[in-house]
């Protein structure tokens, strides 16, 4: 019998179950046993981690067509290192660890697709690290907005981003909520974004990022903000 990759990822079956999550519902929690993996069929999710001191940070965004919980495949008894939370309404295929391993060994088409996904996620992680080390907070915010608006998907026409708080955006770029608010207002005044309940990102923001046309080299500061840190020649930290 011919293996149908699309059908496998669309339908429930042995070791597979379709699940629906509302915004803020949890796929799995940090520290829980990792024994299943999710394929996100629609919606958006995020990965968050909490330190021993109770500080929370958002480390990744998950889009439709991606897996989450791939650490489950490492070995039996592995724990989740992060919490996966729905940002918007999500439909996902929950795949048990044993079934995931079985189909990877049995079906080369599935294995090829999954390896490409892992490589893409690794490259995204490296890009995120470079972004944190060398780009200004303004440019990091612009990049996150472009990712949320799915400008990497040529088929997407309307670049609305799912509901997300400024606190979450601040966690993701490593700055304060007031600074995010300051930059969002500047983006809106420049016509790079618009929002009325939902944020719509314009292609002009992508052009600004590509040509590094940000103005934070001599930034205005939000009222009451501290004296900006001195930046090195190698990087522009906010």
Q: CA-based Rg of the chain, rounded to a whole angstrom?
A: 20
**Which domains does the chain carry?**
9-130 (2.60.120.10), 135-210 (1.10.10.10)
Q: What is the pLDDT at residue 236?
A: 41
Residue 166 CB-density burial (10 A; 0-12 exposed, 13-18 middle, 19+ buried): middle
Q: Which residue has the higher pLDDT, 163 or 91?
A: 91
For residues 236 and 123, what is the distance between their CA atoms, to the nearest angstrom? 22
pLDDT over 70 for what percent of the chain? 89
- Check pLDDT > 90 for residue 184: yes
What contacts 6, CB < 8 A, 6 or more positions away? Answer: none
Q: What is the pLDDT at residue 226?
A: 46
For residues 123 and 141, what is the distance between their CA atoms, to the nearest angstrom? 19
- Residue pair 41/93 in contact (Cβ under 8 Å)? The answer is yes
- Check pLDDT > 60 for residue 135: yes
- Check pLDDT > 60 for residue 45: yes
**Closest C-alpha among 42, 98, 109, 107 to residue 72:** 98
Three-state SS at 62: strand
Q: What is the pLDDT at residue 189?
A: 92
Overall average pLDDT of the 140-169 stretch: 83
Average of per-residue pLDDT values in the chain = 85
Q: Which residue has the higher pLDDT, 86 or 133?
A: 86
pLDDT in tens, 111-124: 999 999 999 999 98
Q: pTM here?
A: 0.74
């Amino acid at each position: 019998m011919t293996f149908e990759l699309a059908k496998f990822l669309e339908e429930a079956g042995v070791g597979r179950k379709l699940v629906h999550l509302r915004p803020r519902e949890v796929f799995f929690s940090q520290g829980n046993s990792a024994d299943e993996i999710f394929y996100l069929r629609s919606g958006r999710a995020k990965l968050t981690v909490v330190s021993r001191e109770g500080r929370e940070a958002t480390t990744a965004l998950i889009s439709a067509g991606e897996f989450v919980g791939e650490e489950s495949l490492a070995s039996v008894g592995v724990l989740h290192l992060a919490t996966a939370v729905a940002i918007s309404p999500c439909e996902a295929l929950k795949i048990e660890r044993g079934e995931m391993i079985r189909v990877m060994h049995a079906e080369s088409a599935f294995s090829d697709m999954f390896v490409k996904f892992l490589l893409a996620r690794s490259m995204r992680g490296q890009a995120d690290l470079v972004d944190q080390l060398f780009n200004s907070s303004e440019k990091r915010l612009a990049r996150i907005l472009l990712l949320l608006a799915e400008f990497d998907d040529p088929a997407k026409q309307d670049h609305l981003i799912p509901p997300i708080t400024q606190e979450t955006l601040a966690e993701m770029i490593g700055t304060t909520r007031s600074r995010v608010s300051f930059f969002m207002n500047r983006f809106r005044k420049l016509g790079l974004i618009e929002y009325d309940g939902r944020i719509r990102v314009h292609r002009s923001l992508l052009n600004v990022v590509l040509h590094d046309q940000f103005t934070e080299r001599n930034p205005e500061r939000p009222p009451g903000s501290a004296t900006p840190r001195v930046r090195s020649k190698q990087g522009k930290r906010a």
